[in-house]
Chains A and B, each alone.
Chain A
Amino acid sequence: MELVVPARAEYLQLVRAIVGATAGLEPSMDPGRVADLRLVVSEAVSNAIKAQASVGVADPILVRCEPSGDRIVVEVADHGPGFDAGSVPDLPPVETAERLDHESGLGVSLMRRLADEAVVESGPNGTVVRLTLGSRGR
């Protein structure tokens, strides 16, 4: 399944619904895992929308979703400026007042936590995030 989505937040709900429904057609897919998939797709597509908006690129976002037996692979590709996934800074500890100064920065760690595999390929012409989720919870 492949979706070409306008890079607008209003389309996030639609992407989640379609990807979730695609995964739900797989008999082996645990319902909790479908919820995880909806969350990581939302994170990846939100990052893609924000990345493109940061440089004024209006290209559509590409979302691929391939169920394959006991796993599902989702790929999200944008034409943003790229980023170094390894250099995403850690947030301050939650016990500190400084933590409240950070409204963003949780998306990549959520994707890594929920996906069995999260691969980020990023360069000056854009980013591709490939997330693999097994059919059973982690």
Chain B
Amino acid sequence: MRLDVHRSPRDDRVVLVLVGELDLAGAPRLRQAVVAEAAAGERHVVLDLTAVDFIDSTGLGVVVGALRRLRTHDGELSVVCPEPRLRRVFEMCDLDRVFTLHGSVDEVPSERETA
């Protein structure tokens, strides 16, 4: 299994549920999904990494690029990452200071709450 991206619209956000491994092979799939959301004008995209088994620096790079792309379109990106092994990779790259890593999709505040 590589990477599948499932789109799940919820209230004021779109949740992209990632399943598989986020590496050089999976990166284009995620990049493509985020480009589509930004082009469609989605303001708040949530990346749900709960079912991601593995992430490396290439995968982290795509998450960073997703944030840049959405902010360019006045949007925002939230990341759900409950798995300690994955969180550690974010932390080792100091990216836990760029992203708030939420424990579940329900923990992600809405745009209204963060405004």
Contacts and interface: CB of A to CB of B under 8 A. Distances in A.
A13 B25 contact: yes
B7 interface: no
Q: Which of B58, B62, B94, B97 has the most CB of A within 10 A?
A: B58
Interface residues of B, number: 25
Contacts of A39: 54, 56, 89
Interface in B42-88: 54, 56-58, 60-62, 64-65, 67-68, 71, 85
A16 B58 CA distance: 15
Contacts, number: 69
Interface size class of A (residues with CB under 8 A): 20 to 34
Given A10-B2, A100-B64, 9 more contacts: A13-B21, A42-B56, A43-B57, A49-B24, A95-B97, A100-B67, A103-B64, A106-B57, A113-B92
9 contacts: A9-B23, A13-B25, A16-B54, A39-B54, A43-B56, A99-B64, A100-B67, A103-B64, A104-B57
Interface of A: 9-10, 12-13, 16, 35, 38-39, 42-43, 46, 49-50, 94-95, 99-104, 106-107, 109-110, 113-114
